[in-house]
Amino acid sequence: MTNSLKETIEAVRKSFLTALDSFPSDTHEIEVLKSSYFGRKGELAKLYAQMGSISHEDRPNAGKAINALKEECSRLFEEQEKKYITPDSTQTDQLDYTLPGEAQRLGSKHPISKTLQEVKDIFTSVGFHIAYGPEVDDDYHNFTALNFPEHHPARDMQDTFFVQKDVVLRTHTSNVQIHLMENSEPPLRYIVPGRVYRNEAISFKSYCLFHQVEALVVDKNISFGDLKGTLEYFVKRVFGSSVTMRFRPSFFPFTEPSAEVDIWDEKRGQWLEILGCGMVDPAVFENVGYDPKVWHGYAFGLGIERIAMLKYGISDIRLFFQNDKRFLDQF
């Protein structure tokens, strides 16, 4: 053991004995003194921290010396402590246990979490299972297998965050459709909640990050009527039976025919899109090895932020991501 460590150990010992001579009588000050020597950042802990710089040959003797000091200090401290801490001294605060306790403020769920849970509850109540998939995925699962042509605009850098040349932050939860069909035999009935990323300009109605719930149903004899019935049920559960909705023809590379669903917003006096949907394109089934002559299916994807904005009357999507307590306290 080095002379410098011996001197340090002796210095701590003398310092401790000096502190014992003026041992405090207040319970709080006693705890402070105890922490200064025995705490995680106390003097004894600092001695143990020096063990790493000691040679292997000297470590056993150094450890014994520090342990002996710790035992000596602990014994002396406990003896001194017993003189000052009595059953009466612990009651100096004179606590009145009949007084009511302090009310603790309860937290609440984020509006996105509340909306997402409601959506999941609606679909699981009618037989859908829940699946999750990767947020960072390869080009094949995010684009190619979903029938996106090589030069489709969605592949452009202005829409997609590329991690590597063929690896992206997923632009939709539709990538999980492919993973599900690759790893499972039909029939399938799943919803896929999760975060998606778009390299878009941030404004009151668009953000670089948002949440989607994708749905995929694959079975024999599935029709567009089944899709319409499911979505009408969902919309009325979320917005009430009096809501006015419409299906509008649209285009998506992985569904054919495709449509978008709008609901009428009385406050704004206009139609607002809430989701896109359609029958799974036969080319997608062929990509995963399903026979499109036997199996049919539908898919749809809805934005949780858009649903929450309509449901709670929120005008700016950025509010969901700013963690402003004035906003969150309303929920």
> And the tokens for 233?
């049920």
Region 178-183 average pLDDT: 94
Region 273-289 average pLDDT: 93
Q: How far is CA 17 from the centre of its chain?
A: 51
Please write the tens of the pLDDT for every residue from 55-97. Answer: 888 888 888 888 888 898 888 888 887 776 655 544 445 677 7
Q: Are the beta carbons of 212 and 301 closer than 8 angstroms?
A: yes
> And the tokens for 249?
């023809």
Q: Are the beta carbons of 320 and 109 closer than 8 angstroms?
A: no
Q: Are the beta carbons of 53 and 2 closer than 8 angstroms?
A: no
Region 163-191 average pLDDT: 92
Q: Where are the beta strands (DSSP E) in the chain?
A: 129-130, 136-138, 162-164, 167-169, 188-197, 209-219, 245-252, 255-265, 270-280, 296-303
So what's the pLDDT on residue 10? 87
So what's the pLDDT on residue 331? 82
Task: State which of 7-11, 63-67, 72-76, 132-136 shows the largest mean pLDDT.
Answer: 132-136
So what's the pLDDT on residue 79? 84
The span from the CA of 261 to the CA of 243, in Å, is 12
Report all structural domains of the chain as residue ranges with CATH numbers, in order of start. 3-91 (no CATH), 111-328 (3.30.930.10)
Q: Which of 29-43, 89-103, 273-287, 312-326 has the lowest mean pLDDT?
A: 89-103
Helix axes 304-312, 111-124, angle to 10 degrees: 110
Q: How confident is the model at residue 187 (pLDDT cuts 50, 70, 90)?
A: very high
Query: 161 to each of 139, 153, 178, 193, 323, how far by Cα in Å?
Result: 11, 13, 20, 20, 24
Query: 185 to each of 133, 188, 189, 241, 285, how far by Cα in Å?
Result: 17, 8, 11, 36, 12
So what's the pLDDT on residue 277? 95
Share of the chain above pLDDT 90, in %: 44
Q: 21 pLDDT exceeds 60?
A: yes
Strand pairing partners for 252?
255
So what's the pLDDT on residue 262? 92
**Number of other CB atoms surrounding residue 302 within 10 Å:** 24
Q: Are the beta carbons of 62 and 69 closer than 8 angstroms?
A: no
Q: 140 pLDDT exceeds 80?
A: yes
Question: At 41, which amino acid appears?
Answer: K
Q: Which of 78-82, 215-219, 297-301 has the lowest mean pLDDT?
A: 78-82
So what's the pLDDT on residue 160? 85
Q: 162 pLDDT exceeds 70?
A: yes
Higher-scoring residue by pLDDT: 316, 279 = 279
So what's the pLDDT on residue 147? 87
Region 282-304 average pLDDT: 94
Question: At 131, which amino acid appears?
Answer: A
* Mean pLDDT, the chain, whole residue set: 87
The span from the CA of 289 to the CA of 105, in Å, is 54
Strands 188-197 and 167-169, how do they pair? unpaired
Q: 272 pLDDT exceeds 70?
A: yes
Q: 136 pLDDT exceeds 90?
A: yes
Neighbouring residues of 288: CB distance < 8 A, sequence distance ≥ 6: 145, 178, 181, 182
Q: Are the beta carbons of 155 and 148 closer than 8 angstroms?
A: yes
So what's the pLDDT on residue 104? 79
Q: How confident is the model at residue 156 (pLDDT cuts 50, 70, 90)?
A: low
So what's the pLDDT on residue 1? 62
The span from the CA of 75 to the CA of 47, in Å, is 18
Q: Is the pTM of this model over 0.75?
A: no
So what's the pLDDT on residue 158? 57
